């Protein structure tokens, strides 16, 4: 079912992205009109279940099931939040959608808010996304002028006021419970799950529907075109397309919409234009640095939630980072270890101290000052702290190191044996775009 195809979620607009007339020309707000005039929230939920849409924020949870849980919750005061707090290395697709498809996101938010019978609705945007936030606000103003947002929408008696919330520019603040905490004026620290799942205990302690940008951008297209149309591409269990953030050692880094199930090789060659300078692929992070790497002999793995999980890694939010054979894996791992260290909120002691100690040991080994005992301690520490935090940050930091040592142990041992990094100081650019 996979089949390469033209973009289906992203639509070419004849005008700037905030121009509502350009969006209306491609069927914009038609799904929202249908929800206002014809479809009940229950019917919307059933259509989403029929589509098989799974959340594009990382977990891959069935969207229709999540919406159903909030809609039919025993507590009747509900809220809606769009999570655009993206901050993970190698992931920039939400930023792209905010910049290029603000009306589509707004329409998805309106449908979600109405379906969940939300008392109030918010779009939480990373404060670093200044241009994107302005695009969104301009689009929102136009949608209000045309009667799609605000009081008595399209004469229906429905009132929805979408508010843009300027969020923290941190990795942890993008975790849904930490995001909700920050929105209530508290430090952006994750809550323990269970029991504090947003669908049960979210904003102001009430059931809250939280979806990421890409998930919500799919909603208008599904309701406009139908669930059957959505399932025409992708795989049986992961239908539709995915926005892949492709970076690292590729000729054409960027955001690419491709069917679920496309292979890693196809993504790198067809979209990324291959590896610069004719170099070979050493490793790929298929879901960002918090998931295990795959090696060059696994490039034909299908890029979908289930296939990658079966292979011992994960799709996450599809932040694909390519590493070539001129790159020192110890140095690359240290780079991401320092990221996790800097992004820990400090709430959980194993995370606060574990990320620091992991980065310190990695620094020591990369500098050629490490010993075999340091390498053993590194792996032992990973085992101690993995799975101990309220969120997955320290687990991601552990998985990163464990994966790197498992696949490239010889490079770590070479650093120890030579008392230096065997790779040139000025290695190839491994910048995560």
Give the helix, strand, coil percentages of the chain, each rounded to 5.
45, 15, 40
Ranges of each domain in the chain: 20-230, 241-324, 329-418
Q: d(Cα 223, Cα 291) in Å, to the nearest integer?
A: 33
Looking at domain 20-230, which of 3.40.50.11540, 3.40.50.10860, 3.30.300.340, 3.30.565.10 is its CATH number?
3.40.50.11540
Q: Report the length, in residues, of the chain.
A: 433
Do 303 and 286 form a contact (C-beta atoms < 8 A)? yes
DSSP 155: G
Q: d(Cα 46, Cα 63) in Å, to the nearest integer?
A: 11
pLDDT of 430 reads 40
Q: d(Cα 411, Cα 329) in Å, to the nearest integer?
A: 7
Write the pLDDT tens digit of every residue in 365-404: 999 999 999 999 999 999 999 999 999 999 999 999 999 9
Cβ neighbours of residue 94 closer than 8 Å, sequence gap 6 or more: 84, 86, 212, 213, 214
Q: What's the burial of 246, exposed, middle or buried (CB within 10 Å: 0-12/13-18/19+)?
A: buried
Q: What is the mean pLDDT of residues 176-186?
A: 95
pLDDT of 301 reads 97
Instruction: Write the DSSP string, 50-66.
Output: HHT-B-TTTT--BHHHH
CATH entry 1.20.1440.230 includes domain 329-418? yes
pLDDT of 432 reads 46
- Architecture of domain 241-324 in CATH? Roll (3.10)
Q: 3-state class of 71 per DSSP?
A: helix
Whether the per-residue pLDDT at 101 is higher than 60: the answer is: yes
Write the pLDDT tens digit of every residue in 84-96: 999 989 999 999 9
Mean pLDDT of the chain: 94
Write the pLDDT tens digit of every residue in 159-175: 999 999 998 878 999 99
Best CA proximity match to 325, nearest among 279, 272, 292 = 279
Whether the per-residue pLDDT at 315 is higher than 70: the answer is: yes
152 token code pair: 């008595």
Residue tagged 């995001």 (tokens): 179
Q: 3-state class of 201 per DSSP?
A: coil
In 112-240, DSSP assigns E strands to 118-126, 162-167, 208-212
DSSP 80: E
Residue tagged 């099931």 (tokens): 65
Cis peptide before 194 (omega within 30 of 0): yes
Q: d(Cα 275, Cα 303) in Å, to the nearest integer?
A: 19
Sheet of 118-126, strands arranged across: 162-167, 118-126, 78-84, 208-212
Pairing, β 254-259 against β 281-285: unpaired
* pLDDT confidence bin for 58, thresholds 50/70/90: confident
322 token code pair: 């390519």
Q: What proportion of the chain, given as a percentage, has pLDDT over 70?
A: 98
Between 82 and 430, where is the model more confident? 82
Q: d(Cα 70, Cα 115) in Å, to the nearest integer?
A: 9
Write the pLDDT tens digit of every residue in 394-428: 999 999 999 999 999 999 999 999 999 999 874 43
Whether the per-residue pLDDT at 119 is higher than 80: the answer is: yes
Cβ neighbours of residue 307 closer than 8 Å, sequence gap 6 or more: 235, 261, 301
Best CA proximity match to 388, nearest among 378, 399, 377 = 399
Best CA proximity match to 4, nearest among 218, 227, 269 = 269
Instruction: Write the DSSP string, 269-294.
Output: IIIT-S-GGGPPEEEEEBTBTTS--E
Between 167 and 21, where is the model more confident? 21
Burial 204-225 (b: 16+ CB within 10 A, else e): eebbbbbbbbbbbbbbbbbbbe
């Amino acid at each position: 079912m996979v089949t390469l195809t033209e973009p289906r979620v992203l639509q070419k607009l004849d005008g700037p992205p905030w121009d509502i007339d350009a969006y209306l020309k491609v069927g914009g707000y038609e799904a929202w009109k249908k929800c206002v005039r014809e479809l009940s929230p229950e019917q919307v939920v059933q259509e989403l279940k029929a589509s098989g849409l799974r959340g594009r924020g990382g977990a891959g949870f069935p969207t229709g099931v999540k919406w159903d849980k909030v809609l039919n919750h025993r507590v009747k005061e509900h809220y809606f939040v769009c999570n655009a707090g993206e901050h993970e290395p190698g992931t920039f697709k939400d930023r792209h959608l905010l910049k290029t498809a603000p009306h589509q996101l707004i329409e998805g938010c309106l449908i979600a808010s109405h379906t969940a019978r939300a008392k109030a609705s918010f779009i939480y945007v990373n404060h670093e996304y200044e241009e994107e936030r302005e695009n969104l606000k301009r689009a929102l103003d136009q949608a209000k002028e045309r009667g799609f947002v605000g009081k008595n929408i399209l004469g229906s008696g429905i009132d929805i006021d979408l508010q843009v919330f300027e969020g923290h520019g941190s990795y942890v603040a993008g975790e849904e419970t930490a995001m909700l905490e920050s929105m209530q004026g508290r430090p952006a620290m994750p809550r323990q799950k269970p029991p504090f799942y947003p669908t049960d205990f979210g904003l102001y302690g009430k059931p809250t529907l939280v979806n990421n940008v890409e998930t919500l951008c799919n909603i208008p297209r599904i309701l406009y075109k139908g669930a059957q149309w959505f399932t025409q591409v992708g795989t049986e269990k992961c239908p539709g397309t995915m926005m892949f953030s492709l970076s690292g050692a590729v000729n054409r880094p960027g955001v690419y919409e491709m069917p679920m199930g496309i292979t890693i090789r196809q993504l790198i060659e067809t979209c990324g234009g291959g590896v610069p300078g004719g170099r070979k692929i050493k490793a790929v992070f298929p879901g960002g640095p918090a998931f295990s790497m795959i090696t060059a002999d696994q490039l034909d793995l299908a890029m979908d939630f289930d296939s990658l999980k079966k292979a011992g890694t994960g799709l996450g939010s599809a932040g694909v980072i390519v590493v070539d054979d001129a790159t020192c894996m110890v140095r690359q791992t240290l780079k991401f270890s320092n990221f996790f260290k800097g992004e820990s909120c400090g709430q959980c002691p194993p995370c606060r101290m574990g990320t620091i100690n992991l980065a310190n040991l990695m620094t020591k080994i990369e500098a050629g000052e490490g010993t075999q005992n340091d390498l053993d301690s590194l792996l032992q520490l990973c085992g101690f702290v993995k799975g101990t935090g309220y969120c997955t940050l320290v687990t991601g930091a552990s998985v990163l190191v464990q994966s790197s040592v498992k696949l490239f142990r010889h490079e770590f041992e070479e650093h120890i044996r030579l008392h230096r990094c065997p790779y040139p100081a000025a290695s190839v650019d491994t910048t995560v775009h």
